[in-house]
């Protein structure tokens, strides 16, 4: 199935329906994963982890429904596949969404309520240093673009980072989400954290 059991290099897919797929592929490769884009249900086979990139969450959701990806993705999340979502990806991983479109589907995976575009429109998009639990070596550069924030989390979810009083990074089990975009910074520590989650998961499954 996966190659992680033999080489220790986890295979991580990047959901490539729309968004900054390329930047995640580069960041994952830099963090010692074997990364590949994923658009079809059968391409989910053999993955040790999955990244849901930044992009426009309404479009990603619509395309996931249209091309039969929604249920297969939900199944993988339920089965414990490590998944990391940035920005739109965080929205996709929210059990509950505010300010989305009425017909907008999410995969769920983290018991949290996420508010879409909570930090405002593009003129309010910003960069700020963010201290993130589990990431050593000082704050990460947080790039927030029409970014969501987390309004509240359930008991099983762990808040990893806040900005200005708002939760911007969360982990629940094997599912990780950030409001911001480490893939745009060249600092691959958050991706390294996720690759490690995928590696542990793959080894445990052997």
Partner 1 sequence: MSSTAPSTSATAPETGTARVKRGMAEQLKGGVIMDVVNAEQAKIAEDAGAVAVMALERVPADIRKDGGVARMSDPNMIEEIIEAVSIPVMAKSRIGHFVEAQVLQSLGVDYIDESEVLTPADEVNHSDKWAFTTPFVCGATNLGEALRRIAEGAAMIRSKGEAGTGNVVEAVRHLRQIKNEIAKLRGFDNNELYAAAKELRAPYELVKEVAELGKLPVVLFSAGGVATPADAALMRQLGAEGVFVGSGIFKSGDPAKRAAAIVKATTFYDDPKIIADASRNLGEAMVGINCDTLPEAERYANRGW
Alpha-carbon dihedral 118, 119, 124, 128, rounded to 10 degrees: -160
Burial of 164 (0-12, 13-18, 19+ CB in 10 A): exposed
- Phi, psi values for residue 55, rounded to 5°: 165, -155
Check 181, 188, 191, 201 and give the catalytic one. Answer: 181
The answer to whether the CB of 19 falls within 8 A of the CB of 146 is no
Q: Are 198 and 35 in contact (CB under 8 A)?
A: no
When the beta carbons of 66 and 205 are compared against partner 1, the nearer one is: 66
Residues 39-68 that bind partner 1 (CB under 8 A): 39, 54-56, 58-59, 62-63, 66-67
Shortest CB 1 distance to partner 1, Å:
25
Stretch that binds partner 1, among 6-14, 27-35, 138-146, 193-201 (CB under 8 A): 138-146
DSSP 8-state secondary structure symbol assigned to residue 102? T
Q: Which tokens hold the place of 36?
A: 């590949």
Can 181 be counted among the known catalytic residues? yes
124 tagged catalytic: no
Binding mask 146-185 for partner 1 (x = CB under 8 A): x----------------xx----------------x--xx
Min dist. Cβ of residue 55 to partner 1 (A)? 5
CA atoms of 123 and 182, how far apart (whole Å): 20
Catalytic positions are 87, 181, 183
| Residues lying near partner 1 in the complex (CB under 8 A) | 16-23, 39, 54-56, 58-59, 62-63, 66-67, 87-88, 99-101, 116-117, 121-129, 139, 143-146, 163-164, 181, 184-185
């Amino acid at each position: 199935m996966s190659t992680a059991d033999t080489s220790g290099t986890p295979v991580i897919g990047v959901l490539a329906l729309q968004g900054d797929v390329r930047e995640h592929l580069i960041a994952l490769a830099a963090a010692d994963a074997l990364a590949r884009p994923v658009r079809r249900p059968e391409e989910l086979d053999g993955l040790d982890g999955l990244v849901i990139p930044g992009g426009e969450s309404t479009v990603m959701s619509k395309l996931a429904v249209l091309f039969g990806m929604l249920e297969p993705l939900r199944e993988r999340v339920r089965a414990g596949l490590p998944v990391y979502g940035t920005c739109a990806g965080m929205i996709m991983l929210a059990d509950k969404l505010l300010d989305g479109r009425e017909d907008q589907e999410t995969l769920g995976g983290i018991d949290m309520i996420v508010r879409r575009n909570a930090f405002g429109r593009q003129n309010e998009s910003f960069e700020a240093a963010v201290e993130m639990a589990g990431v050593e070596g000082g704050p990460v550069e947080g790039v927030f673009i029409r970014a969501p924030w987390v309004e509240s989390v359930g008991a099983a979810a762990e808040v990893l980072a806040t900005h200005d009083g708002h939760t911007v990074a969360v982990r629940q089990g094997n599912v990780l989400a950030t409001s911001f975009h480490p893939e745009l910074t060249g600092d691959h520590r958050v991706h390294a954290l996720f690759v490690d989650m995928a590696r542990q998961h793959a080894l445990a499954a052997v």
